Structures are given as C-alpha cells and as structure tokens.
C-alpha cells in the first residue's frame, strides 16, 4: 500500500505533502526549489512507496484554466513521463494559499513566520492533499 504525495507547484518553490502509509493523515513534507523537484521526487520514490501524486490544479472562480497552468501543464507532462509507474492526478487548488495563511494565524504563528512563503507552500500542499483524500473517500 503506497502513500499519496501532493504537490503545490510554483515557478520558484514547490510545496510537498504526503500521507502516512495507511493514507489517514496528510503531513507537510518539504518545500524545494522548482528546479530541484524531479531530483527530490526521484530520491523520495526510491525510499518510499507512492501510489499517487496529486498536483494542485489552479482554476479561476469561473471554473476556467488559470494563467499558472502554462507552467503546471508542462510539469505534469514531464511528471507522467518520468514516473510512469505512479498514478498522477490533479486537484483544484483554489484558495489554498489563503487557507494556509488562515491556518497559520489560527495556529498562533507569528507574523514574521507567516511571511515565509516556503511554509505557505508546504501548508497549501497539505490542504490540497487533505481535500483530495476527503473527495476520494466521498466517492467510495
């Protein structure tokens, strides 16, 4: 039984979250520079069994493709080509950055710590993963 890994892909940074082996809990894993994501994934997939990688897919409020998709779609294509043994899925990531900031405020994080964009990216990946898991459990 493999884990589910979520990616909040950005042009500069990539937030990464992962489930436990039983796929019960989503945890923030890492934030890496975009240029290093494939090296990171290669190393991680050698150590851990991952059955699905979920990539945050930005849509507008009108359910149309967001501008960022011109960077994300080529990333997804490369991901599929590089890791054909792993299921690649996408999930709507609207509002995840705002939700991540709200979670940090509610968690009592200091303003200086909340301004760390790497932390926001990692928490956004956790939100994407948790939402994806809830969606999949409702489909069953």
**In the chain, where the domains are located:** 3-139
Q: Say how far apart CA 55 and CA 79 lie, in whole Å.
A: 10
Quick one: DSSP state of residue 59?
Answer: B
| Span 111-128, pLDDT tens digits | 666 566 777 788 889 989
CB 75 within 8 A of CB 55: yes
| Span 43-97, pLDDT tens digits | 999 999 999 999 998 876 676 766 777 899 999 999 999 999 999 999 987 656 6
The CATH T-level fold of domain 3-139 is Nucleotidyltransferase; domain 5 (3.30.420)
Give residue 112's pLDDT.
66
Q: Say how far apart CA 15 and CA 117 lie, in whole Å.
A: 10
| Span 14-35, pLDDT tens digits | 999 999 999 999 999 999 999 9
């Amino acid at each position: 039984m493999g884990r589910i890994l979520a990616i909040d892909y950005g042009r500069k940074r990539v937030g990464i979250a992962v489930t436990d082996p039983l796929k019960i809990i989503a945890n923030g894993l890492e934030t890496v520079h975009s240029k290093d994501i494939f090296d990171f994934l290669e190393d991680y997939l050698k150590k851990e069994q991952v059955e699905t990688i979920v990539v945050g897919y930005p849509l507008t409020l009108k359910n149309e493709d967001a501008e960022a998709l011109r960077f994300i779609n080529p990333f997804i294509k490369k991901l599929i080509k590089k890791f054909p043994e792993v299921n690649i899925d996408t999930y709507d990531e609207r509002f995840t950055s705002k939700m991540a900031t709200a979670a940090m405020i509610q968690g009592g994080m200091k303003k200086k710590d909340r301004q760390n964009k790497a932390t926001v990216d990692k928490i956004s990946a956790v939100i994407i993963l948790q939402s994806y898991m809830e969606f999949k459990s409702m489909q069953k």
